[in-house]
Structure 1
Amino acid sequence: MKAERLAAARSGLAPAALIRATPLLFPLVFVCTAVTGVLSTLYAALALHLLIIASELTVGRRWSEVAIPKLVEGSSTFEDLWPVLWFGLHLVALVAALSFVGSADLTWRQVFAVGAFFGYSINAFSAAAAHELIHRESHAERAFGRLLCAIMLYPHFPCVHLSAHHHWAGTDHDCQTPKPGQTIHAYLAQALFGGLRAAATPQARALDRGLPLRALFCVLVVAAPLMFAPVLSAFMIVQGLFAFLVIETINYVQHCPFPDDDHSAAAAASTHQDLNFVSRALLLNLPLHAAHHDRPALHYANLTPSAEAATLRLGYWCSFWLVWLPPVWHSLRHNLCSHHRRSP
């Protein structure tokens, strides 16, 4: 799929704007839950996720060759500001969720459910925003991205991502690249322990001198409420667990090799892309991951598909659930993927 085949459809601006506004509804759901004090309000978040999946399977696949239009024609101001604005929306949603968990009489199972909803809903968009911010040139924007990762209790993601993943992607040296035939369950263990080892290397420490402070921040965020409101600590741990699951499952989808892939190949040849319009619109073009590895500093709004990368159109919400059924996942992506055999 060559980059020029992504055509800008001005008639698609209104639907695209509507899809891109969808993330705004998730903080609103948590604010409404805090205001009403009704746990079942969170079912609205579940309904939104089902709507996203349905959109991926329909309009997302149909518009896979359509570029994401800028919200304001001729200006990238919105695209520039959106990741930083989302940082503020994440804080609003987090305060609302903590307020609800702290004031409602919830069982531990219900606390887990609220944390899971938050982690799967808010943190999915926060992961995309943080990823974009840590690649920006501005020190302030990079700081926002690193702080957002710390709030999600994944403080070492930026240094592992920048010092190891972008250097070793597609090889056995990268803990965030699945090995051939590796299931999602084994990969998550590799990402967890490998990430901690990678963050402790001299290269990572030199690249990210603020990591010890962010790690301390995470410990305090979890430990501080233990004395007066342990449910808040439980919520923070659960949302952090789901942040890790979301981020690393996305990494798995982006880098899971096909049987005929050369696992020692360069990053661009070992990184896949998903052209699903809905996923690209919601996740700041993160599914154009092969192009991102080609030019990591390129603004997300300027990413275009790679002509050489293996290409899917499933969408990341669909893929997130399919990877937990390895036979179904591998069969589907093998049958639906284009360009999965590399040229010598």
Structure 2
Amino acid sequence: MWGIETGGLATFALPVFAFVLVPLADMVAGRSPRLPNRDGVQLADWIMRAYVPLALLALAVGVNAADRWNTLEWFGNGLSLGVTAGVGIVVAHELGHRRAAGLRMLSRLMLGTTAYGHFRVEHNRGHHVWVATPYDPATARRNQTYYAFWWQAVSGTLRGAWAQEAARLMKRQLPGWHWRNEVWQNVAITLLLALAARLLGGWSGLGLFALQAVIGFSLLEAVDYIEHYGLMRHRFADGRFERMTAAHSWSANHTVSNWLLFELQRHADHHVRPLVPFSALGDQAESPMLPASYPTMILLALCPPLWYRVMHPRLDRHYEHLATERGMQAV
């Protein structure tokens, strides 16, 4: 909110912090031990609960001020609120895995600010089942650019969520278009928030709401791109896929960014133990490790030739290691 009120170059403070200062801090602080870390779970929970109203407040302040900004401030504040929304989806992702109805509602409210409420449905019931297979829209194939993946993930997540909800309602003998379909409910939440933005900030406020939403879910899909790039489960002759293991998710254990992202970067452990709070996640020995933390990897993903140069040798070594292990097990 400091950048919103100050204006000028201060509007870029949050993107600079996220994509410049945090990677530098990771370089200085180094990596965390490859061990489970169960400290601070309760503190992290309270931080995540507090994040939702604080993010909504920042968005409301921005929407209210949007018609007073010049072009530079629009760009800077749009990026900053988009980064805020992107981190908000991290929080929503975690809360969406919880059993408490109140925490799930906070998750849906946070996702509503990015017009991506259907993510929780597809992620929990689709992605965690089909990860690292061609049926998962959130798994990037080798040689697939982030830009091609973006459309695959955005459209596929919506289709998958609708299919999941239609199947659930069918079991209750209700049509897929019924109001109990959670996709419709999430659309309603987003429309109410958009209406609030229009009333509070006029057309400028509504435009800002849309801009930060697109940036927010685009950052989410950049993270999805990074987390499973090129990692596919073997398919047997009978059509079955091998069991999902930690070998099918990239992880990172960079200290500062992991702390700021609630240990999200220990992603392989999340897939192995999806109900464990993020702040209690550790490292799985089978998981390949990213060369840098998510902020740096996101910037690399935006430049496909550079991304391929960095990731493909690591991907090849990972598969060679898996082939060696399988060969030893066969013996």
| TM-score above 0.5, yes or no | yes
Displacement of 1:65: 4.4
Which residue of structure 1 lines up, in the alignment, with residue 160 of structure 2?
198
Alignment coverage as a number of residue pairs: 304
Displacement of 1:100: 2.2
Q: Which residue, 205, 224, 235 being the options, matches 1:251?
A: 224
Cα gap change, 1:215 to 1:40, in 2 (>3 Å): same
Structure 2 distance, partners of 1:46, 1:201, is: 36
C-alpha distance after superposition, 1:46-84 (max 9, x if no partner): 4323111212233234x454766735xxxx431222211
1:288 aligns with 2:258: no
> Which amino acid counterpart does residue 132 of structure 2 have in structure 1?
G
1:55 aligns with 2:20: no
Which residue of structure 1 lines up, in the alignment, with residue 39 of structure 2?
70
- 1:120-199 mapped onto 2 (5 Å cutoff): 120=83, 122-199=84-161
- 1:1-344 mapped onto 2 (5 Å cutoff): 30=1, 32-36=2-6, 38-49=7-18, 50-61=20-31, 63=32, 65=34, 70-71=39-40, 76-102=41-67, 104-107=68-71, 110-120=73-83, 122-203=84-165, 206=168, 209-222=181-194, 229-257=202-230, 262=234, 264-268=241-245, 269-335=247-313, 339-340=318-319, 341-342=321-322, 343-344=325-326
Alignment RMSD, CA only?
Answer: 2.6
Q: Which shifted more, 182-191 or 209-218?
A: 209-218
Cα gap change, 1:332 to 1:67, in 2 (>3 Å): same
Cα gap change, 1:161 to 1:255, in 2 (>3 Å): same
Displacement of 1:324: 1.5
Displacement of 1:214: 1.9
Check conservation: 2:127, 2:138, Cα contact below 8 A: yes
Check conservation: 2:112, 2:190, Cα contact below 8 A: yes
Check conservation: 1:116, 1:239, Cα contact below 8 A: yes
SS at the partner of 1:187? helix
Unaligned runs of 5+ in 2: 170-179, 236-240, 327-331
SS at the partner of 1:257? coil
- When normalised by structure 2's length, the TM-score is 0.82
Which residue of structure 1 lines up, in the alignment, with residue 329 of structure 2?
none
* Percent of matched pairs sharing the same residue: 24
Cα gap change, 1:310 to 1:106, in 2 (>3 Å): same
Displacement of 1:219: 2.7
> Which amino acid counterpart does residue 96 of structure 1 have in structure 2?
V
- When normalised by structure 1's length, the TM-score is 0.79
